[in-house]
Structure 1
Amino acid sequence: MHSRIADSEAMHQFGVHLAARLRTGDLVVLTGPLGAGKTTLTRGLGEGLQVRGAVTSPTFVLARTHPSTIGGPSLVHVDAYRLANAMELDDLDIDFAHSIVVVEWGRGMLDGITDSWLDIEIERPTGASTAHADADVDLDADEPRTVTVTAHGPRWSPTAWPQVP
């Protein structure tokens, strides 16, 4: 499924909408360049799941657990950017079975973790994927993004795929 997300508020709302379809044990893998909206989408998930704590990028701590305020599953937000391989991810000892886990930059590191997951790729039109520290690209630009959701495994039948509101 391909969708166009108009701005950061719409990306946040997409996360809220997606949260309503997630359940304990679900895995969401987010891929996209710096500033694409991965953390913004995850903030929406946190709001929709009604978890405790501000959802911020876990770049320096690698993983943050946000417990539910309503008795639901915790949201575990992982940033795998600085991890070299799946073994380093495994060393984080994440409770995949009893949480909803969102992994930024995790594509290719999660083989064998579960038989079903959502792969969400976010693309920016300005080419931020080629941005470097010295490049003059506005990583905070609030511009449209293209979101591609690919469902893997038996959990995500075609009728269960999240749709952008």
Structure 2
Amino acid sequence: MPTPQRAKALQLERSLLYHCAGITNRVGGSVHALCRERYGMSPAAWRVMAHVGELQPITAKEIGLRAAMDSVNLSRALGQLDGLGFVQRHIDTTDRRRIILQLSPAGQAVYDTVAPLTVKAEQTLLAELNAQERATLRELIRRVWERSRELFDSDESETTY
């Protein structure tokens, strides 16, 4: 028996979230596979390593805010990086409650290998766009990112959307 016709609320072919997830899975998949197979890192651990590598010294709290990661996943990723010997933790000399994160020499070597691959993947992905289109895309993505922070980083995120 056919079901009654319902209005389509979700149109995947037009969904920003669907397309972003698909791009991440396709392009990030090869980087994630390398991280997992060669270095034993999860995709979340690579995301954390990327933040530490680019912004060190940095705290876990700062990474969580920048990467939009919850504390459980962040803690798990940091534990993995720590267990692999890729990250070093130091007590902040100006505020002993803060733990500062930096890459170990081994972690820096991994970062120096993987980071250029992610840059190359992005360049390949955007190669069909001209400079103005790339700049526009980056600006639009930055604005959507900021809007997502406004809507979903608050304590009231469940009622915002």
TM-score norm. by structure 2 comes to 0.28
Higher helix share: 2
**Which of 1 and 2 has higher RCO (CA within 8 Å, sep 6+)?**
1
Higher strand share: 1
